[in-house]
């Protein structure tokens, strides 16, 4: 019997091409769009001129492209889980002085696991997404691997590092071996209506990019001005509220004169923003927790790997070492660009994702 695959369709060109490729492989494919924001929020967003990633018009696009491909289409309401697992975590993370990555949380808690669970319930064998990444089974280790997509500019393995073995075993990434131009070409050759659709941008629930006003107005996160101090505690100026700043940030601090200053810490207890010189901001290492390992079952010995502490970042070499409390310490072999607590660190060996975790502390 043909394998039944449910493709997560966002209404964009990537997921549409993913579904099309699976159909060409002879699989039995259907599509589903996940609805992440309640109607009333979407109305607010579109009234403010914003553009979300799973908006009403995206659902219509996904539905139309599904009909074009001749596949069935569903809409799943995951607004409750998205609110709890992504939006609330986003706000909480900022309240604690960290810098969250909601796209990773969305993949980790909503997009992959809930979609998979729903698909299984509906009798599908696997799910597929339009992520640029490669998943494959490795006979040698007996593990499912997650690898970088071949398009360097589009590789999304970073946002998928939290996938479990069971999730990887049941998830297809049909675009992993293609480049974005090839995907657009494919969509165009099939006459898919979304072939020219622009990339989605920003955080989907804060489409105007003004996350600070989202946090204060919608999520009641407090945001009070306070002092900017140097590492000796000398007051250098005032800040607009800690949520406006990210560790490692240089621009927009409003401190004139002297050498360039970088954010080195956000002290939520005293509502102070600590800044330092380039040297103090440079990241020598970090501690990550919430570790998920993919290519290896566990981490016993120190390992030399390359790491990313942000999605769009060149990898940097580091030695990772298990700590006693199941967290992992990361020591960069040469000074690295600043990293912010709350963001994810992902470890690579070559093109393969070894695993990753959430940055707790930077030094």
Binding of other proteins by 72 (CB under 8 A):
no
54 is catalytic: no
Task: Name residues contacting other proteins, limited to 102-131 (CB under 8 A).
Answer: 113, 116-118, 120-123
Angle separating helix axes 56-69 and 13-24, nearest 10 degrees: 20
Q: Interface with other proteins by CB under 8 A: which range of 23-31, 75-83, 248-256, 311-319?
A: 75-83
**52 three-state secondary structure:** coil
Do 277 and 250 meet the contact criterion of CB atoms below 8 Å apart?
no
Binding of other proteins by 75 (CB under 8 A):
yes
Binding of other proteins by 3 (CB under 8 A):
no
Binding of other proteins by 260 (CB under 8 A):
no
Between CA 102 and CA 72, with CA 155 as vertex, the angle to 5 degrees is: 75
204 is catalytic: yes
Size of the site for other proteins (CB under 8 A): 25
Choose, from 103, 204, 223, 283, the residue flagged as catalytic: 204
Binding of other proteins by 137 (CB under 8 A):
no
Q: Which residue lies nearer to other proteins by CB, 57 or 213?
A: 57
Choose, from 93, 103, 106, 194, the residue flagged as catalytic: 106
Angle separating helix axes 13-24 and 180-189, nearest 10 degrees: 70
Task: Name residues contacting other proteins, limited to 169-188 (CB under 8 A).
Answer: 170
Binding of other proteins by 1 (CB under 8 A):
no
Binding of other proteins by 335 (CB under 8 A):
no
Q: Which listed residue (2, 48, 138, 166) binds other proteins by CB under 8 A?
A: 166
Task: Give the list of residues 6+ apart from residue 223 with CB closer than 8 angstroms, or none.
Answer: 212, 215, 216, 240, 241, 242, 243, 244
What's the gap between Cα 326 and its chain centre?
Answer: 23
Binding of other proteins by 84 (CB under 8 A):
no
For the chain, the distance separating the N- and C-terminal CA atoms, rounded to the nearest angstrom, is 54
Residue 246 dihedral angles phi and psi, to the nearest 5°? -125, 145
What is the number of alpha carbons within 13 Å of residue 61 lying toward its C-beta? 23
Residue 91 vs residues 99, 273, 306: alpha-carbon distances, Å: 10, 19, 30
Q: Which listed residue (25, 77, 317, 349) binds other proteins by CB under 8 A?
A: 77
Positions marked catalytic? 106, 204
Binding site for other proteins (CB under 8 A): 33, 35, 38-39, 56, 59, 63, 74-77, 79-80, 113, 116-118, 120-123, 164, 166-167, 170
């Amino acid at each position: 019997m043909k394998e039944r695959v449910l493709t997560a369709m966002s209404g964009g060109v990537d997921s549409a091409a993913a579904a099309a490729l699976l159909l060409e492989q002879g699989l039995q494919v259907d599509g589903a769009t996940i609805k992440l924001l309640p109607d009333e929020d979407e109305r607010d967003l579109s009234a403010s001129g914003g553009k979300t990633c799973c908006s009403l018009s995206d659902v219509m696009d996904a539905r139309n492209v599904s009909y074009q491909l001749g596949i069935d289409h569903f809409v799943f309401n995951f607004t409750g889980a998205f609110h709890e697992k992504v939006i609330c975590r986003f706000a909480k993370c900022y309240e604690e002085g960290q810098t969250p990555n909601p796209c990773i949380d969305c993949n980790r808690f909503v997009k992959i696991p809930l979609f998979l669970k729903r698909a299984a319930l509906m009798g599908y064998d696997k799910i597929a997404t339009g992520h640029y990444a490669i998943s494959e089974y490795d006979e040698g280790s007996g593990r499912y691997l997650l690898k970088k997509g071949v398009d360097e500019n589009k590789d999304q393995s970073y946002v998928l590092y939290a996938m479990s073995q069971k999730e990887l075993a049941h998830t297809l990434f049909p675009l992993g071996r293609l480049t974005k131009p090839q995907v657009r070409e494919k969509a165009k050759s099939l006459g898919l209506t979304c072939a020219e659709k622009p990339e989605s941008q920003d955080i989907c629930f804060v489409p105007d990019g003004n996350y600070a006003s989202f946090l204060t107005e919608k999520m009641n996160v407090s945001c009070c001005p306070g002092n900017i101090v140097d590492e000796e505690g000398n007051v250098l100026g005032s800040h607009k509220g800690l949520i406006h700043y990210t560790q490692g940030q240089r621009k927009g601090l409003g401190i004139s004169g002297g050498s360039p200053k970088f954010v080195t810490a956000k002290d939520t207890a005293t509502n102070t923003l600590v800044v330092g010189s380039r040297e103090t901001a440079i990241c020598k290492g970090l501690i990550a927790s919430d570790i998920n390992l993919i290519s290896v079952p566990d981490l016993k010995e120190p390992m030399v790997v390359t790491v990313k502490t942000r999605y769009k970042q060149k990898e940097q070499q580091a030695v990772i070492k298990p700590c006693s409390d199941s967290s992992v310490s990361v020591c960069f072999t040469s000074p690295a660009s600043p990293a912010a607590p709350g963001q994810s660190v992902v470890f690579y060996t070559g093109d393969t994702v070894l695993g990753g975790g959430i940055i707790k502390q930077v030094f």
